[in-house]
Amino acid sequence: MKIISYNVNGIRAAIQKGFVDWLKAESPDVICLQELKADIDQVDTSEIEALGYQIFWHSAQKKGYSGVAIWSKIPPKQVTVGCGIEKYDAEGRVLRADFEEFSIMSVYMPSGSSGEERQDFKMTWLADFHQYIHQLKTEIPQLIISGDYNICHKAIDIHNPKSNANSSGFLPEEREWMENFINSGFVDSFRHINQEPHHYSWWSYRAGARAKNLGWRIDYHLVSESLRDRISHAQILPEVKHSDHCPVVIHLN
């Protein structure tokens, strides 16, 4: 099973840049999308459905903001929209599809880079999300949480850890949360396969950062520990350029 996660930074803009042709060629079984910035009725999904995908979508209440989706060639048993916490569900941040042997979640975690208020919101989200997943795992032990976490876990995951030590996304308390969350029963699938540096999934639009590979690895497939032995392949696709992020891929046996 091939699963891709991709923050498209606006699905309509990505489609104009050839996203559908890329999706057809890549042909994942499931793709989790973040930062759609559109309602489903604003997007012509006919070409996507013609590729065999069932489309599940969770928009933010605010127009042109946030939003997550799961497109699947394998019919899920059930789809759950949101996490049941109104202030997060209003921002379109969580969508889960349950399959026979595991569940896949598309998650768009808040950014704190716009200021103190949103950083506080992000830290509250992190605490609440951890508690939500802790409870969910009692019902659904085999989880794949795919998406934009807006956190670099370790120094290897960011191009300049020293100068970014006080940057949202690499703050000590965010990295500590990531460490604790993974240690609560998850595997960072990419690092399970690849321990090399200079692999990133997001680059600033400023100063030619992408061409210089001055990036951050903030997009993940975190997989329940019980699925560790089923991870056969994981990679990042930096050459794919519909967004300031790139897709991240996992294959499960």
Range of the domain at 156: 2-252
**Contacting residues for 97 by C-beta, under 8 A, at least 6 apart:** 30, 56, 70, 72, 76, 78, 79, 103, 104, 105
Of 148, 157, 188, 219, the catalytic one is 148
- Closest C-alpha to 122, from 107, 132, 131, 110: 110
Task: Identify the helix (H) or strand (E) that includes residue 145.
Answer: strand 143-148
Whichever domain contains 234, its CATH number is: 3.60.10.10
Beta strands across the sheet bearing 54-58? 54-58, 68-72, 30-34, 2-7, 248-252, 231-236
Please tell me what DSSP assigns to residue 139: H
Q: Is 148 a catalytic residue?
A: yes
How many domains, in total, are found in the chain?
1
Query: What's this model's pTM, rounded to 2 decimal places?
Result: 0.98
Give the strand pairing for 68-72 and 54-58: antiparallel
Residues 57, 67: contact at Cβ < 8 Å?
yes
Three-class SS state of 68: strand
Q: What is the pLDDT along the chain (253 residues), one digit of tens a residue?
A: 999 999 999 999 999 999 999 999 999 999 999 999 999 999 999 999 999 999 999 999 999 999 999 999 999 999 999 999 999 999 999 999 999 999 999 999 999 999 999 999 999 999 999 999 999 999 999 999 999 999 999 999 999 999 999 999 999 999 999 999 999 999 999 999 999 999 999 999 998 999 999 999 999 999 999 999 999 999 999 999 999 999 999 999 9
Residues 207, 236: contact at Cβ < 8 Å?
no
Amino acid 70: pLDDT:
99
Amino acid 98: pLDDT:
98
